[in-house]
Structure 1
Amino acid sequence: MDTVTFPVEAGKIREFARATLATSPIHEDPQSAAERGFAAVPAPPTFAVSVAHHRTVDEASALGLDLRRVLHGEAAWEFFKPVVAGDVLTAHREVADVIQREGGRGGRMTMIIIRTDFTTADGALAIRQSDTIIERAA
Protein backbone atom coordinates (compact mmCIF):
# COMPACT_ATOMS: atom_id res chain seq x y z
CA MET A 1 0.00 0.00 0.00
CA ASP A 2 2.71 2.47 0.98
CA THR A 3 6.15 2.97 2.46
CA VAL A 4 7.18 5.81 4.76
CA THR A 5 10.57 6.63 6.27
CA PHE A 6 10.83 8.76 9.41
CA PRO A 7 13.39 9.64 12.08
CA VAL A 8 12.99 8.56 15.68
CA GLU A 9 13.74 11.66 17.72
CA ALA A 10 14.42 11.85 21.46
CA GLY A 11 11.98 14.75 21.90
CA LYS A 12 9.17 12.80 20.22
CA ILE A 13 9.96 9.76 22.38
CA ARG A 14 9.69 11.95 25.49
CA GLU A 15 6.36 13.44 24.30
CA PHE A 16 4.93 10.02 23.45
CA ALA A 17 6.07 8.55 26.78
CA ARG A 18 4.45 11.38 28.72
CA ALA A 19 1.24 11.21 26.66
CA THR A 20 0.93 7.47 27.30
CA LEU A 21 1.94 7.76 30.97
CA ALA A 22 5.09 5.69 30.48
CA THR A 23 6.90 6.80 33.61
CA SER A 24 10.25 5.04 33.26
CA PRO A 25 13.17 7.49 33.19
CA ILE A 26 14.77 5.50 30.33
CA HIS A 27 12.43 7.32 27.90
CA GLU A 28 13.89 10.71 28.84
CA ASP A 29 17.33 10.23 30.34
CA PRO A 30 20.20 8.86 28.21
CA GLN A 31 22.14 7.83 31.34
CA SER A 32 19.19 5.80 32.67
CA ALA A 33 18.81 4.21 29.24
CA ALA A 34 22.53 3.33 29.11
CA GLU A 35 22.40 1.81 32.59
CA ARG A 36 19.64 -0.50 31.29
CA GLY A 37 21.74 -1.53 28.25
CA PHE A 38 20.20 0.70 25.57
CA ALA A 39 22.38 2.45 22.99
CA ALA A 40 20.16 5.54 23.28
CA VAL A 41 16.81 6.56 24.77
CA PRO A 42 14.35 3.79 23.80
CA ALA A 43 10.87 4.44 22.47
CA PRO A 44 7.89 2.98 24.34
CA PRO A 45 6.62 -0.19 22.63
CA THR A 46 3.62 1.37 20.85
CA PHE A 47 5.61 4.38 19.60
CA ALA A 48 5.24 2.95 16.09
CA VAL A 49 1.68 4.31 15.92
CA SER A 50 3.21 7.77 15.49
CA VAL A 51 4.00 6.80 11.89
CA ALA A 52 0.46 7.97 11.15
CA HIS A 53 1.75 11.56 11.39
CA HIS A 54 4.11 10.85 8.48
CA ARG A 55 1.65 9.16 6.14
CA THR A 56 -0.13 10.89 3.30
CA VAL A 57 -2.27 7.86 2.34
CA ASP A 58 -5.31 6.95 4.45
CA GLU A 59 -5.74 3.17 4.38
CA ALA A 60 -9.55 3.20 4.21
CA SER A 61 -9.52 5.60 1.26
CA ALA A 62 -6.68 3.73 -0.47
CA LEU A 63 -8.69 0.51 -0.24
CA GLY A 64 -11.87 2.13 -1.54
CA LEU A 65 -13.80 1.49 1.67
CA ASP A 66 -16.95 3.37 2.65
CA LEU A 67 -15.82 5.26 5.77
CA ARG A 68 -19.39 5.32 7.09
CA ARG A 69 -19.23 1.53 7.43
CA VAL A 70 -15.66 1.08 8.64
CA LEU A 71 -14.34 0.41 12.12
CA HIS A 72 -10.97 -0.56 13.51
CA GLY A 73 -11.27 -4.09 14.86
CA GLU A 74 -7.88 -4.87 16.37
CA ALA A 75 -4.23 -3.87 16.61
CA ALA A 76 -1.37 -6.17 17.55
CA TRP A 77 2.40 -5.77 17.68
CA GLU A 78 5.39 -8.09 17.55
CA PHE A 79 8.69 -6.66 18.79
CA PHE A 80 12.01 -7.87 17.39
CA LYS A 81 14.48 -5.21 18.57
CA PRO A 82 14.31 -1.95 20.55
CA VAL A 83 13.68 1.29 18.70
CA VAL A 84 15.89 4.06 20.05
CA ALA A 85 16.49 7.77 19.47
CA GLY A 86 18.58 8.23 16.35
CA ASP A 87 17.05 5.30 14.49
CA VAL A 88 15.49 5.93 11.12
CA LEU A 89 12.53 3.63 10.58
CA THR A 90 10.98 2.61 7.31
CA ALA A 91 7.40 1.44 7.63
CA HIS A 92 6.10 -0.69 4.77
CA ARG A 93 2.34 -1.29 4.91
CA GLU A 94 0.50 -3.92 2.86
CA VAL A 95 -2.70 -5.92 2.81
CA ALA A 96 -1.88 -9.29 4.39
CA ASP A 97 -5.34 -10.89 4.11
CA VAL A 98 -8.98 -10.23 3.27
CA ILE A 99 -11.68 -12.28 4.98
CA GLN A 100 -15.43 -12.11 4.37
CA ARG A 101 -18.07 -13.58 6.63
CA GLU A 102 -21.65 -13.13 7.68
CA GLY A 103 -22.10 -10.80 10.64
CA GLY A 104 -23.85 -11.88 13.84
CA ARG A 105 -26.82 -9.63 13.10
CA GLY A 106 -26.88 -10.39 9.42
CA GLY A 107 -25.06 -8.63 6.66
CA ARG A 108 -21.66 -9.42 5.26
CA MET A 109 -18.51 -8.14 6.94
CA THR A 110 -15.20 -7.69 5.17
CA MET A 111 -12.14 -7.86 7.41
CA ILE A 112 -8.90 -6.55 5.98
CA ILE A 113 -5.67 -7.37 7.76
CA ILE A 114 -3.07 -4.64 7.23
CA ARG A 115 0.52 -5.55 8.11
CA THR A 116 3.16 -2.89 8.69
CA ASP A 117 6.81 -3.89 9.00
CA PHE A 118 9.10 -1.32 10.64
CA THR A 119 12.74 -1.78 9.70
CA THR A 120 15.82 0.13 10.81
CA ALA A 121 18.32 1.74 8.43
CA ASP A 122 20.36 -1.48 8.34
CA GLY A 123 17.29 -3.42 7.16
CA ALA A 124 16.62 -5.20 10.48
CA LEU A 125 12.97 -5.84 11.35
CA ALA A 126 12.19 -3.96 14.57
CA ILE A 127 8.39 -4.09 14.84
CA ARG A 128 5.53 -5.76 12.99
CA GLN A 129 2.12 -4.20 13.48
CA SER A 130 -1.11 -5.89 12.36
CA ASP A 131 -4.39 -4.00 12.13
CA THR A 132 -7.81 -5.41 11.35
CA ILE A 133 -10.12 -3.05 9.51
CA ILE A 134 -13.78 -4.08 9.30
CA GLU A 135 -16.25 -2.83 6.72
CA ARG A 136 -19.91 -3.73 7.28
CA ALA A 137 -22.09 -4.29 4.26
CA ALA A 138 -24.73 -1.71 3.33
Structure 2
Amino acid sequence: MADRGLIGRELGTVRFPVERGKLAELARSFDAPEPLWSDREAAREAGFDDIPAPPTATVVADLWREHGALDGAIRLGLDTTNLLHGEASWQFFAPVRCGDELTARSSVVDVNERVGKRGGAMTLVAIETSYTNQHGEQVATRRDVVVEKGGNSSAR
Protein backbone atom coordinates (compact mmCIF):
# COMPACT_ATOMS: atom_id res chain seq x y z
CA MET A 1 0.00 0.00 0.00
CA ALA A 2 1.18 3.51 -0.77
CA ASP A 3 2.71 5.21 2.25
CA ARG A 4 1.90 8.93 1.95
CA GLY A 5 3.97 9.45 5.10
CA LEU A 6 7.01 9.33 2.80
CA ILE A 7 6.12 12.73 1.35
CA GLY A 8 8.81 15.20 2.33
CA ARG A 9 11.40 12.53 3.05
CA GLU A 10 14.90 13.67 2.04
CA LEU A 11 16.82 11.22 -0.14
CA GLY A 12 20.21 12.83 0.03
CA THR A 13 22.41 15.45 -1.53
CA VAL A 14 25.24 14.99 -3.99
CA ARG A 15 27.65 17.48 -5.54
CA PHE A 16 29.09 16.84 -9.01
CA PRO A 17 31.01 18.66 -11.76
CA VAL A 18 29.63 19.30 -15.24
CA GLU A 19 32.63 18.04 -17.17
CA ARG A 20 33.52 18.64 -20.81
CA GLY A 21 34.24 14.96 -21.44
CA LYS A 22 30.85 13.88 -20.11
CA LEU A 23 29.10 16.50 -22.25
CA ALA A 24 30.89 15.16 -25.33
CA GLU A 25 29.80 11.61 -24.42
CA LEU A 26 26.19 12.75 -24.03
CA ALA A 27 26.38 14.54 -27.38
CA ARG A 28 27.66 11.38 -29.07
CA SER A 29 24.84 9.36 -27.52
CA PHE A 30 22.34 11.85 -29.04
CA ASP A 31 24.20 11.80 -32.38
CA ALA A 32 24.57 15.58 -31.95
CA PRO A 33 27.34 17.67 -33.49
CA GLU A 34 30.17 17.13 -31.03
CA PRO A 35 32.14 20.41 -31.38
CA LEU A 36 29.29 22.45 -29.89
CA TRP A 37 29.32 20.26 -26.77
CA SER A 38 33.07 19.99 -26.33
CA ASP A 39 34.81 22.97 -27.91
CA ARG A 40 34.50 26.44 -26.38
CA GLU A 41 35.26 28.20 -29.67
CA ALA A 42 32.61 26.17 -31.53
CA ALA A 43 30.12 26.94 -28.75
CA ARG A 44 30.91 30.68 -28.98
CA GLU A 45 30.53 30.59 -32.76
CA ALA A 46 27.08 29.04 -32.21
CA GLY A 47 26.15 31.95 -29.93
CA PHE A 48 26.83 30.44 -26.48
CA ASP A 49 28.98 32.09 -23.79
CA ASP A 50 30.50 28.72 -22.95
CA ILE A 51 29.95 25.04 -23.69
CA PRO A 52 26.25 24.41 -22.95
CA ALA A 53 25.00 21.30 -21.22
CA PRO A 54 22.07 19.37 -22.72
CA PRO A 55 19.04 19.17 -20.41
CA THR A 56 19.71 15.55 -19.52
CA ALA A 57 23.20 16.39 -18.19
CA THR A 58 21.64 16.68 -14.74
CA VAL A 59 21.02 12.92 -14.78
CA VAL A 60 24.77 12.49 -14.23
CA ALA A 61 24.05 13.30 -10.56
CA ASP A 62 22.58 9.80 -10.21
CA LEU A 63 25.95 8.27 -11.02
CA TRP A 64 27.48 10.07 -8.03
CA ARG A 65 25.02 8.50 -5.57
CA GLU A 66 25.93 5.45 -3.49
CA HIS A 67 23.57 3.07 -5.34
CA GLY A 68 23.49 4.92 -8.67
CA ALA A 69 20.12 5.49 -10.32
CA LEU A 70 18.44 3.12 -7.83
CA ASP A 71 19.65 5.05 -4.78
CA GLY A 72 16.32 6.72 -3.97
CA ALA A 73 14.34 3.51 -4.40
CA ILE A 74 16.75 1.59 -2.17
CA ARG A 75 16.62 4.32 0.49
CA LEU A 76 12.82 4.10 0.42
CA GLY A 77 12.83 0.32 0.70
CA LEU A 78 11.13 -0.25 -2.65
CA ASP A 79 11.40 -3.64 -4.31
CA THR A 80 13.89 -2.89 -7.09
CA THR A 81 13.06 -6.17 -8.87
CA ASN A 82 9.54 -4.81 -9.51
CA LEU A 83 10.45 -1.21 -10.27
CA LEU A 84 9.79 0.82 -13.43
CA HIS A 85 10.72 4.38 -14.30
CA GLY A 86 7.38 6.02 -15.01
CA GLU A 87 8.35 9.48 -16.22
CA ALA A 88 10.79 12.34 -15.97
CA SER A 89 10.34 16.07 -16.49
CA TRP A 90 12.60 19.07 -16.10
CA GLN A 91 12.11 22.74 -15.39
CA PHE A 92 15.06 25.06 -16.05
CA PHE A 93 15.66 28.40 -14.40
CA ALA A 94 19.18 29.17 -15.71
CA PRO A 95 21.61 27.58 -18.17
CA VAL A 96 23.85 24.74 -17.03
CA ARG A 97 27.32 25.06 -18.52
CA CYS A 98 30.54 23.15 -18.73
CA GLY A 99 32.60 23.87 -15.62
CA ASP A 100 29.60 24.31 -13.33
CA GLU A 101 29.53 22.34 -10.11
CA LEU A 102 25.98 21.34 -9.27
CA THR A 103 24.45 20.23 -6.01
CA ALA A 104 21.46 17.92 -6.36
CA ARG A 105 19.01 17.51 -3.46
CA SER A 106 16.28 14.89 -3.78
CA SER A 107 13.10 14.34 -1.80
CA VAL A 108 9.76 12.55 -2.12
CA VAL A 109 6.99 14.91 -3.21
CA ASP A 110 4.07 12.52 -3.75
CA VAL A 111 3.02 8.89 -3.24
CA ASN A 112 -0.06 7.30 -4.81
CA GLU A 113 -1.42 3.88 -5.55
CA ARG A 114 -3.22 2.86 -8.75
CA VAL A 115 -4.60 -0.31 -10.21
CA GLY A 116 -2.76 -1.38 -13.37
CA LYS A 117 -4.51 -2.09 -16.68
CA ARG A 118 -3.87 -5.81 -16.19
CA GLY A 119 -4.89 -5.69 -12.56
CA GLY A 120 -2.72 -5.46 -9.50
CA ALA A 121 -1.82 -2.41 -7.50
CA MET A 122 1.09 -0.13 -8.35
CA THR A 123 2.76 2.32 -6.00
CA LEU A 124 3.84 5.56 -7.72
CA VAL A 125 6.51 7.60 -5.95
CA ALA A 126 7.32 11.10 -7.25
CA ILE A 127 10.84 12.27 -6.46
CA GLU A 128 11.90 15.85 -7.04
CA THR A 129 15.55 16.84 -7.40
CA SER A 130 16.59 20.46 -7.10
CA TYR A 131 19.88 21.53 -8.73
CA THR A 132 21.86 24.56 -7.62
CA ASN A 133 25.12 25.75 -9.12
CA GLN A 134 28.36 26.76 -7.41
CA HIS A 135 26.92 30.27 -6.89
CA GLY A 136 23.93 28.92 -4.94
CA GLU A 137 21.53 29.68 -7.81
CA GLN A 138 18.80 27.16 -8.56
CA VAL A 139 19.30 26.12 -12.19
CA ALA A 140 16.87 23.23 -12.59
CA THR A 141 14.34 20.90 -11.04
CA ARG A 142 13.81 17.33 -12.19
CA ARG A 143 10.76 15.29 -11.26
CA ASP A 144 10.83 11.50 -11.63
CA VAL A 145 8.04 9.05 -11.00
CA VAL A 146 9.07 5.51 -10.11
CA VAL A 147 6.50 2.74 -10.19
CA GLU A 148 6.67 -0.29 -7.93
CA LYS A 149 4.56 -3.07 -9.43
CA GLY A 150 2.64 -5.36 -7.16
CA GLY A 151 1.45 -2.85 -4.57
CA ASN A 152 3.28 -4.58 -1.73
CA SER A 153 5.60 -1.69 -1.09
CA SER A 154 7.98 -2.25 1.76
CA ALA A 155 8.68 1.50 1.77
CA ARG A 156 9.14 2.88 5.24
User: How many residues align structurally?
Assistant: 138
3-state DSSP of counterpart to 2:129: strand
The match for 2:20 is 10
Helix, strand or coil at the partner of 2:117:
coil
Identity of aligned residues (%): 45
2:82 aligned to 59, 64, 69, which one?
Answer: 69
Alpha-carbon distance, 1:52 to partner: 1.7
User: What letter matches 1:67 in structure 2?
Assistant: T
Q: Within 5 Å, which residues of 2 pair with 1:1-138?
A: 1-23=11-33, 25-57=35-67, 58-137=71-150
User: How much does 1:105 deviate?
Assistant: 2.3
User: Under a length normalisation based on structure 1, what TM-score does the superposition of the two structures give?
Assistant: 0.90
Q: Distance in 2 between matches of 1:89 and 1:62?
A: 22
The 3-state SS of whatever aligns with 2:43 is helix
Distance in structure 1 (CA, Å) of the matches to 2:12 and 2:30: 27
Letter paired with 2:36? I
Stretches of structure 1 that go unaligned for 5 or more consecutive residues are none
Structure 1 counterpart SS, 2:44: helix
TM-score, structure 2 normalization = 0.80
- For the aligned residue pairs, the C-alpha RMSD in angstroms reads 1.6
Contact (CA 8 Å) 2:124, 2:146: kept in 1 or not? Answer: yes
